[in-house]
Amino acid sequence: MKKHNFNAGPSVLPRVAIENAAKAVLDFEGSGLSILEISHRTKDFEAVNDQANDLLRELLEVPDTHKILFLGGGASTQFFHIPYNFLNRKAGYVSTGVWAKKAIKEAKLFGETVTLASSEDKNFTYIPKGFDIPTDLDYLHITTNNTIYGTEYHTDIDSPVPLVADMSSDILSRPVDVSKYALIYGGAQKNMGPAGVTFVIVREDFLDKRTRTLPSMVDYKNHIDNDSMYNTPPVFPIFVLKETLKWLKEIGGVKAIQKLNRQKADLLYGEIDSNPLFVGTTAKEDRSLMNICFVMAPGYEALNDAFMDYAKSCGMVGIKGHRSVGGFRASCYNALPLESVEALVACMKEFATQHAK
Ligand SMILES: *Cc1c(COP(=O)(O)O)cnc(C)c1O
């Protein structure tokens, strides 16, 4: 049976990227070697690294003021690399979920860390707005899409201090005004590629503000000066990331995918709002287009497991909600086809005909 991959991360990738990855594992560009056994210092791999860089720059319209890095360690490593580099006196954070809280915990190791706003009072079901941003902060850190709770910033906010954003789970899902950010980072495994590679987009002059002596691997400048090859980069994940970006460019880029993402989200939220068995879990204006969370409606809670089993029998994969929200989460990343959302909606409709009171 056809599987519909709603995994939250690592997650669905374009079929063509997987096929090209499979070919490169067997024979990397006619070299007679697998991509798994080549040196990262070869011309052929340097070309892959350059292409990945150029494609991301083009797709996200990254200005010349910013550098792009592909590193190891995941977004979680950036949680401490950022304060290590930039937290001299005081940093501001917005607490919008589990990942934001983890970032705050790490920052506290390096200096004063103030939580300027939080949505924890309502189990992170909304994005806090209208709070003051003090001008004496080294930076302000936000999480643009909250993968677990299903909330998302739909605009690039204005900040009087350098803005740092964890965009792990909504990067490339919509156009972003990169010039508004001092640093953007994330794990690639939600929307940009496979697990094992982390992207960092950093404004070069932001680096001038640093005062600490840094270990080499923590120092962004080191990675910039070595084109992300200060040490061995994640060669194979970067190759698959490059193939994923190539696919995105071929289907029309970020504007085209935004349109498709809206179409998918409208379809699924529309069903959640009209189907008597289900309700959404977040404030409507902050609903994520990437991670769509819903639970059984009041009176139907007992059917939770029955729907899960039924959805599985229809080929749905990865729709179990995170334990801190419960219910269901359908992650609708760029590479998830519209037909998968159509299949989930059909499954919800059919379940309602069987069970509506
Ligand atoms: C998945 C995720 C992370 C953690 O990423 P790792 O690469 O596993 O460290 C951090 N932030 C957000 C928003 C995420 O979705």
Which tens digits make up the pLDDT trace of 86-110? Answer: 999 999 999 999 999 999 999 999 9
Answer yes or no: is pLDDT of 345 > 90.
Answer: yes
99 lines ligand 1 (CB under 6 A): yes
State whether 349 and 245 are in the same domain.
Answer: no
Domain final residue pick, 209, 230, 250: 250
> Which tens digit of pLDDT belongs to each residue from 97-152?
999 999 999 999 999 999 999 999 999 999 999 999 999 999 999 999 999 999 99
- As given in the structure block, the two tokens for residue 275 are 């189907």
Domain final residue pick, 201, 224, 250: 250
Strands 90-95 and 139-143: parallel
User: What mean pLDDT is predicted for residues 273-300?
Assistant: 98
150 lines ligand 1 (CB under 6 A): no
Total tally of structural domains belonging to the chain: 2
Atom of ligand 1 nearest to the CA of 198: 7
State whether 188 and 285 are in the same domain.
Answer: no
Active site residues: 99, 166, 190
Residue 22: Cβ-neighbour burial (10 angstroms; 0-12, 13-18, 19+): exposed
Atom of ligand 1 nearest to the CA of 146: 13
Residue 302: Cβ-neighbour burial (10 angstroms; 0-12, 13-18, 19+): exposed
* Distance in angstroms (rounded) separating the CA atoms of residues 181 and 198: 17
State whether 265 and 237 are in the same domain.
Answer: no
Answer yes or no: is pLDDT of 299 > 90.
Answer: yes
State whether 90 and 115 are in the same domain.
Answer: yes
Task: With beta carbons less than 8 A apart as the criterion, state whether 291 and 12 touch.
Answer: no
Q: Please tell me the pTM assigned to this model.
A: 0.98
State whether 130 and 279 are in the same domain.
Answer: no
Domain final residue pick, 219, 250, 281: 250
- Domain hosting residue 236, numbered range: 15-250
Residue 9 lies in a domain: no
State whether 193 and 278 are in the same domain.
Answer: no
149 lines ligand 1 (CB under 6 A): no
| Residue ID of nearest Cα to ligand 1 atom 5 | 75
Q: Where are the beta strands (DSSP E) in 53-182?
A: 66-71, 90-95, 112-118, 139-143, 145-146, 151-152, 163-166
* Distance in angstroms (rounded) separating the CA atoms of residues 42 and 316: 41
Strand partners, 145: 152
Torsion of CA 99, 101, 103, 106, to 10 degrees: -140
Q: What is the reported pLDDT for 265?
A: 98
Strand partners, 184: 165, 201
237 lines ligand 1 (CB under 6 A): no
CATH number of the domain where residue 228 is located: 3.40.640.10
State whether 130 and 258 are in the same domain.
Answer: no
> Which tens digit of pLDDT belongs to each residue from 215-262?
999 999 999 999 999 999 999 999 999 999 999 999 999 999 999 999
Residue in the block written with tokens 């809280």: 101
State whether 196 and 162 are in the same domain.
Answer: yes
Residue 284 lies in a domain: yes
Q: How far is the CA of 186 from the centre of ligand 1 (A)?
A: 7
294 lines ligand 1 (CB under 6 A): no
CATH number of the domain where residue 294 is located: 3.90.1150.10
Q: How far is the CA of 33 from the centre of ligand 1 (A)?
A: 33
Q: How far is the CA of 75 from the centre of ligand 1 (A)?
A: 5
* Distance in angstroms (rounded) separating the CA atoms of residues 272 and 275: 6
